[in-house]
């Protein structure tokens, strides 16, 4: 005959082991979800491959309140659309450097660019780009001007640009710059040169 | 028997006068036909207001009765499913079972008979019930009181009604406050002698009387009406009115547009008042120009976080009040688009400025980046004057853009006089694009002492007086559309 106190002790330990198992399983799932979320926030595009080309990037400078043309050597793929996407990703990498004169959020990315003939381009930004962008007329407008001018300078034939966020029209980038408009490349260039 | 030749009818090509006559007759016929069909073009609908959803549904006319889909009506309110079995149509809403038969007025709900006022219809598996039965039918399904304004097709489920109260300002006869028991979002329009507010999604109900007269010679009357799912409040006045929101959209303040046609001239009778609008503009000092000052952001829309505790919306409001004072002492009539921590959409801000027919619109912003100030005009291509009387909403600023740039340059010049770091630029910034008068946005940045300077009254005062002086210097240009 097994003593009663021994039975109670074993049963209590058994309940404890099962409870701990459930808790550990729960914590493991949460950790996995966190990892997926963190991974989702980072750019996932593979590095571009292809011959290196010299391009002109229009880089914003918050202190000066202007864009500065900067030459860069970057590998560009063959397709026109892929070239446009890599071009803007190269621009983003400059803004995501720690010493950037126009810092953009680390998780900001270009989801895709659609080139719609004749002359129209649609830039689709990810949510982090807009959600974590600094709010202010100057900062937001410089970002828009930088994207539009860089695209127009390196992808021939683009005269109009629309900007979407996560595939949808968004009223403003971060409270100021109007994203419901179609940006006319010539008008943006004139404004940037003021 | 004599045979006579019956003359054959002579068909000739109609003369040009006949052609014109046929054309006029034909056109008149089609115009009359379209006019007679016009009332039926307006889609009838029913508005449903409940604590869980506010929605509208189309109303169908069948055999002289108005019908609505029962499944569609109940769907937003709970779990609902239906099944068609020949001429029978079964419905389950939460735990309530009902059975209807096409062409029959008798139905069974919760195992009991219920008589509809007109036969039940099935169209494409959709069960249609007559509108006139809803008051008695819906309480069988729902466990909340139902109030149906049948003639206006407005259905209130539960206690959702928004009451409105009128509060005339005894000290200011040019002002009337409408206080609502919950936030509202009406469509506001003006016409001569009237300001109209249409409530499409707000369960606003009658204030008790359909018409209220005020002991006021300017704002004379308010009337309430409801029709086709909408409620409407009209305020009548002898002068043009404008409306602004406050108290988190629970209050609409209606006031007379403060654009006085003429002020007593210093020269008095030696300088008679001009008669034409052009002369009015040219004379400048002989009239008061309305300046609309828009403190950007507000309410839940905080704008940029300037510090952990300082929001852009708070800086813009303080700055706007200072600018109002500076403009008023220089002889301008000034309207602030918000004078409290309230929110308005960008379209509402633009509409308020356009309806007020302001001479100038100034949007105020603040930032923690950079230094001094930046003056922005709209980033739009300059449009020629040959586009006609109408302009696209998103390019409403185009005709006024040349004058806006003159105002911007004047502000830069005045700020530079005060050794205030400043720069002019263009930005794609709403509602700048949507206002039809000269418009600028001024973004105030910190001075040498950092972000704390943004709330410094002296710092703001310098900027405000520079803007006001600049507006004075271009006063003759304001109101004159190119």
A90, A179: one domain: yes
B311 secondary structure, DSSP code = B
A36, A59: one domain: no
Q: Do B429 and A135 touch (CB under 8 A)?
A: no
Q: Integer distance in angstroms from the first to the last C-alpha of chain B?
A: 88
In a domain, A180, yes or no: yes
* Domain B45-157 CATH superfamily: Copper amine oxidase-like, N-terminal domain (3.30.457.10)
- Per-residue confidence (pLDDT) for residue B466, from 0 to 100: 94
A79, A163: one domain: yes
Scan for tokens 């301008």, then name that residue: B332
B78/B166 Cα distance (integer angstroms): 36
A119, A158: one domain: yes
B321, β-bridge pairs: none
Q: Do B304 and A62 touch (CB under 8 A)?
A: no
In a domain, A46, yes or no: no
Among the partner-chain residues B303, B312, B425, the one whose CB lies closest to the CB of A191 is B425
Alpha-carbon distance A141 to nearest alpha carbon in chain B (angstroms): 6
Q: Check whether A137 has a pLDDT greater than 90.
A: yes
A177, A94: one domain: yes
For the domain B161-256, what is the CATH code?
2.60.40.3470
In a domain, A47, yes or no: no
Q: Do A136 and B424 touch (CB under 8 A)?
A: no
Q: Which residues on A lie below 8 Å from B431 (Cβ)?
A: none
Tokens, residue A164: 């979407």
B405 to B196, B425, B474: CA distances (angstroms): 34, 9, 11
Scan for tokens 């006029």, then name that residue: B24
B210 secondary structure, DSSP code = S
B168/B166 Cα distance (integer angstroms): 6
Q: Do B369 and A62 touch (CB under 8 A)?
A: yes
- Per-residue confidence (pLDDT) for residue B18, from 0 to 100: 56
Query: How many domains are contained in chain A?
Result: 2
Mean pLDDT of chain B, nearest integer: 81
A123, A34: one domain: no
In a domain, A16, yes or no: yes
- Per-residue confidence (pLDDT) for residue B22, from 0 to 100: 60
Q: Do B429 and A141 touch (CB under 8 A)?
A: yes
Q: Which domain holds residue A32?
A: 1-41
- Per-residue confidence (pLDDT) for residue B17, from 0 to 100: 56
- Among candidate residues B88, B159, B350, the one with its CA nearest the CA of residue B242: B350
ipTM: 0.70
In a domain, A158, yes or no: yes
A28, A60: one domain: no
In a domain, A129, yes or no: yes
B113/B141 Cα distance (integer angstroms): 13
Phi–psi pair at B221, nearest 5 degrees: -155, 150
Q: Check whether B470 has a pLDDT greater than 70.
A: yes
The residue in chain B having the minimum alpha-carbon distance to the alpha carbon of residue A139 is: B369
A70, A162: one domain: yes
Give the β-pairing of A120-125 and A110-116.
Answer: antiparallel
- Per-residue confidence (pLDDT) for residue A94, from 0 to 100: 94
- Per-residue confidence (pLDDT) for residue B24, from 0 to 100: 57
pLDDT tens by residue, B1-55: 344 343 444 444 445 555 655 665 565 556 555 444 444 445 788 999 988 888 8
A34, A57: one domain: no
In a domain, A26, yes or no: yes
Q: Which pLDDT band holds residue B383 (cuts at 50, 70, 90)? A: low
B273/B15 Cα distance (integer angstroms): 58
Delimit the domains of chain B by residue range: 45-157, 161-256, 277-482
A35, A57: one domain: no
B368/B311 Cα distance (integer angstroms): 10
A113, A178: one domain: yes
- Among candidate residues B358, B402, B357, the one with its CA nearest the CA of residue B377: B402
In a domain, A159, yes or no: yes
Q: Which residues on B lie below 8 Å from A171 (Cβ)?
A: 346, 430
Q: Do A135 and B381 touch (CB under 8 A)?
A: no
- Among candidate residues A92, A81, A73, the one with its CA nearest the CA of residue A147: A92
Cα torsion angle, B372, B346, B317, A173, sign: negative
A79, A132: one domain: yes
- Those residues whose C-beta lies under 8 Å from the C-beta of residue A20, and which sit 6 or more positions away, are none
The domain defined by B277-482 carries CATH number 3.40.50.1370: no
pLDDT tens by residue, B187-218: 777 777 888 888 888 899 988 778 888 888 88
Phi–psi pair at B430, nearest 5 degrees: -90, 150
Alpha-carbon distance B481 to nearest alpha carbon in chain A (angstroms): 22
B399 touches chain A (CB under 8 A): no
B196 secondary structure, DSSP code = E
The larger pLDDT score, comparing residue B169 to residue B48, is at: B48
Q: Integer distance in angstroms from the first to the last C-alpha of chain A?
A: 96
């Amino acid at each position: 005959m097994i003593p009663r106190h021994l039975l109670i002790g074993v049963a209590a330990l058994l309940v404890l082991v099962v409870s701990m198992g459930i808790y550990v399983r729960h914590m493991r799932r949460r950790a996995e979800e966190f990892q997926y979320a963190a991974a989702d926030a980072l750019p996932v595009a593979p590095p571009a491959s292809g011959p290196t080309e010299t391009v002109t990037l229009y880089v914003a400078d918050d202190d000066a309140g202007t864009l500065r043309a900067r030459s860069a050597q970057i590998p560009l793929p063959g397709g026109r659309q892929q070239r446009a996407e890599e071009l803007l990703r190269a621009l983003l990498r400059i803004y995501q450097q720690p010493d950037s004169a126009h810092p953009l959020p680390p998780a900001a990315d270009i989801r895709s660019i659609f080139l719609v003939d004749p002359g129209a381009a649609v830039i689709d930004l990810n949510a982090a780009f807009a959600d974590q962008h600094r709010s202010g007329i100057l900062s937001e407008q410089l970002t828009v001007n930088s994207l539009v001018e860089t695209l127009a300078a390196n992808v021939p034939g683009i005269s109009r640009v629309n900007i979407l966020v996560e595939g949808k029209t968004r009223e403003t980038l971060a409270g100021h710059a109007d994203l419901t408009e179609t940006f006319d490349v010539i008008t943006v260039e004139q404004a940037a040169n003021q | 028997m004599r045979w006579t030749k019956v003359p054959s009818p002579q068909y000739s090509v109609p003369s040009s006068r006949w052609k014109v006559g046929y054309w006029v007759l034909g056109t008149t016929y089609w115009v009359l036909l379209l006019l007679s069909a016009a009332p039926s073009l307006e889609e009838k609908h029913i508005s449903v207001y409940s604590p869980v959803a506010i929605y509208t549904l189309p109303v169908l006319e069948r055999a002289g009765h108005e019908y609505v889909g029962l499944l569609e009506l109940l769907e937003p309110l709970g779990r609902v499913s239906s099944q068609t079995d020949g001429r029978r149509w079964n419905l389950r809403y939460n735990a309530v079972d009902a059975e209807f038969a096409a062409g029959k007025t008798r139905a069974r709900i919760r195992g009991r008979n219920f008589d509809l006022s007109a036969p039940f219809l099935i169209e494409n598996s959709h069960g249609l019930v007559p509108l006139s039965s809803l008051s008695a039918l819906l309480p069988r399904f729902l466990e909340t009181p139902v109030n149906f304004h049948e003639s206006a097709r407005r259905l209130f489920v539960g206690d959702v009604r928004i009451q409105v109260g009128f509060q005339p300002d005894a000290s200011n006869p040019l002002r009337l406050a409408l206080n609502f028991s919950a936030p509202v979002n009406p469509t506001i329009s003006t016409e001569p002698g009237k300001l109209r507010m249409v409530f499409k999604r707000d369960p606003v109900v009658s204030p008790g009387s359909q018409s209220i007269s005020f002991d006021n010679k300017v704002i004379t009357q308010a009337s309430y009406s409801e029709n086709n799912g909408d409620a409407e409040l009209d305020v009548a006045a002898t002068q043009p009115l404008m409306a602004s929101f406050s108290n988190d959209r629970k209050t609409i303040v209606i006031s007379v547009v403060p654009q006085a046609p003429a002020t007593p001239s210093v020269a008095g009778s030696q300088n008679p008042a001009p008669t034409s609008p052009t002369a009015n503009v040219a004379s400048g000092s002989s009239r008061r120009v309305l300046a609309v000052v828009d403190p950007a952001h507000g309410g839940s829309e905080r704008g940029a976080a300037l510090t952990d505790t300082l929001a852009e919306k708070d800086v813009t409001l303080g700055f706007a009040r200072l600018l109002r004072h500076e403009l008023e002492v220089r002889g301008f009539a000034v309207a602030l688009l918000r004078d409290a921590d309230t929110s308005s959409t960008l379209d509402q801000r633009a509409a308020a400025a356009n309806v007020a027919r302001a001479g100038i619109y100034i949007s105020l912003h603040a930032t923690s980046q950079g230094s001094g100030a930046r003056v922005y005009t709209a980033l739009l291509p300059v449009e020629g004057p040959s586009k006609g009387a109408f302009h696209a909403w998103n390019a409403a600023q185009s005709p006024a853009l040349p004058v806006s740039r003159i105002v911007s340059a004047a502000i830069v010049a005045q700020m530079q006089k005060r050794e205030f770091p400043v720069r002019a630029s263009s930005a794609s910034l709403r509602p700048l694009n949507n206002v039809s008068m000269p418009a600028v946005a001024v973004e105030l940045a910190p001075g040498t002492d950092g972000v704390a300077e943004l709330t410094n009254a002296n710092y703001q005062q310098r900027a405000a007086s520079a803007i006001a002086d600049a507006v004075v210097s271009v006063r003759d240009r304001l109101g004159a559309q190119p």
